[in-house]
Structure 1
């Protein structure tokens, strides 16, 4: 019986104001890509603000151009399948440099107990931990998780 799920957070800051026309393709893709996530095998939950996405969740007071995405998945394999093999998500992911500044780290994963819904504050704290301590057993990336699994031989 599974006792844990995987949570993910990714953050971004728009290169120009969120409502600038250059960001329209990203904003227009959100409902469809989120619907694909919601229907994916292994999907459990995602952060939603006042609309059907989380782009209006104000993480940094006074900074509407900093956005957050969080979700919980049954396991890493199901999240990875959506993130990297779902064609519509891959297309948006491949274009992120057109809309967002480079931020490091901008993404991390961590285990949560089954039934736990992480808060934005929890996710931001996990990103800060990844930046301060690097990847480990409690906060990690796809790459570090794969590397740790490979080392178990």
Structure 2
């Protein structure tokens, strides 16, 4: 998948927390959301992030899926694959990613999708969930894809994204 001029990379990552956001079992994850999200926003190549209420320590957890407050989403836009990869596997985010099974349920379905958006477009959660459903239903395409379809995604290949739980 080659990124044409005039486009950015959008990504949606969904997960279901093992417990409500105020439960001690997910406290360490919740306590670090602002830190990790803040780092992401300062990364070269970061463009935009779906925001929640702005309350400290809540991240995007108000953007629950299907009315389930434990089913949360992270939706961001990046200039390119290299920028997203650097954030995911080249910062402290990697430490939290590697420990995701401590805070998130194992999801049987695909829980991550990427797609290209025209520069300036800010996708909504409904649009992102439609892309995820398209990937689940039809497999990878130019409209909805994963890391494996990005030949330039070297950090992903090095870290071999184990299928354990949501990010």
Deviations 1:58-101 (A, max 9, x none): 3212x100000000000111111111111x10011011001111
C-alpha distance in structure 2 between counterparts of 1:117 and 1:107, whole Å: 18
**From 54, 60, 82, the counterpart of 1:54:** 60
CA distance in 1, matches of 2:133, 2:14: 12
Give yes or no for the alignment of 1:95 onto 2:99.
yes
Q: Give the structure-2-normalised TM-score.
A: 0.83
2:84 pairs with one of 70, 79, 97:
79
- Matches of residues 15-54 of structure 1 in structure 2 within 5 Å? 15-51=18-54, 53-54=59-60
TM-score, normalised relative to structure 1: 0.90
Q: Contact 1:43–1:78 at 8 Å: present in 2 too?
A: yes
Provide the C-alpha distance between the structure 2 equivalents of 1:83 and 1:109, rounded to a whole number of angstroms. Answer: 14
Asked whether the equivalents of residues 7 and 116 of structure 2 are also in contact (C-alpha less than 8 Å), the reply is yes
> How many aligned residue pairs are there?
146
Between the aligned partners of 1:10 and 1:29, the Cα distance in structure 2 is 17
| Residue 11 of structure 2 corresponds to residue 8 of structure 1 | yes
Q: Distance in 2 between matches of 1:73 and 1:45?
A: 7
- Unaligned 5+ segments in structure 1 are 148-153
Give the corresponding residue for 1:150.
Answer: none
CA apart distance, 1:14: 1.0
Q: What's the offset of the Cα at 1:136?
A: 1.6
Q: CA deviation at 1:129?
A: 0.5
**Aligned to 1:8, what secondary structure does the other structure show?**
strand
After TM superposition, what 4+ stretches of structure 1 lie above 2 angstroms from structure 2?
Answer: none
CA shift digits 1:92-148 (9 cap, x unpaired) = 10110011112221111000000000000011001101100111222111122228x
Unaligned runs of 5+ in 2: 153-167
Partner of 1:140: 145
